[in-house]
Structure 1
């Protein structure tokens, strides 16, 4: 199941991402960069760890963790969170928790594209990626 996500994905469409970042408390300047950036995401498995590498003109980040086990992550907007990767049915779910808050990044494959739904406090953004 997870192997369906193992590829390099390029962002091709983004909806409501600015509102999602606003809800998270991302500063204006960082949101501006986030809205114009078209990152690639490389998802792979290395032994028993899932690796998610995000690459853009501005920054490259890499996180990894075992499925179902919490790990420390510093997000692109500099939040220090406890993250967990899980597979729920046909979805690859990335949950971030900090200061009593939680956001979920739910990835699923639809018509050969990876659709990522991000939710936080009632705000939803959808980012669609195609294989690069």
Structure 2
């Protein structure tokens, strides 16, 4: 998977940028009347217009127009400081993952991080940095969505993962715990609430995070 990094000055004339196909393309950028960022470029020799528009505090749409065809990518924004305020079914998930009894009881003794675990998230496009503090283990991960297999830390051990955006803009991370495949879905429910669903087999655990002032 190709990682695209773009640096440009809006209104600064013609630039060269990397495309998702790995080649260099010319582009110009301007601000639309509604504040959206408009980029005029090309893909495979065809003219393309890209409109990046923030729909709400939580969601950004990137519209790509080629002729009369429009594709829209939706990204949720998880930036902020989030405290885990509720947890569902974690002990069952850890048991399904064959986590040793003593580790499960250690986690249960501190409520698996409820009202303790705080995640500080910094998001810049597809680059997401998550700092975890107050839980069983403190660690920081940096993930680039769409960049293929990466190495990340977890509350149990170091794991490999891949990340992608779902159609609804939520963040999907495919990883593993204790050698078993795990799917994590981070979804912003509203301005103040994010759910992180962790699925292994038919067992689902949900962490509820509340945005801190």
**Alignment correspondent of 2:170:** 91
SS in 2 for 1:22: helix
Aligned pairs (5 A) from 1:6-85: 6-35=79-108, 36=111, 37-38=113-114, 39-45=117-123, 49-56=127-134, 58-69=136-147, 70-78=149-157, 80-85=158-163
Structure 1 runs (4+) greater than 2 angstroms displaced: 1-4, 32-35, 45-49, 97-101
Aligned pairs (5 A) from 1:97-108: 97=176, 101-108=180-187
Higher-Rg structure is 2
The one of the two structures with greater contact order (alpha-carbon pairs below 8 A, sep at least 6) is 1
Deviation at 1:98, TM superposition (A): 6.8
**Alignment correspondent of 2:200:** 120
The structure with more helix, counted as a fraction of residues = 1
Matched residue count: 131
2:189 to 89, 110, 115: 110
Alpha-carbon RMSD? 2.3
Q: Given the two structures, how large is their TM-score scaled by the length of structure 2?
A: 0.55
Any stretches of 5+ residues in structure 2 without a counterpart? 1-58, 60-74
SS in 2 for 1:76: coil
Any stretches of 5+ residues in structure 1 without a counterpart? none
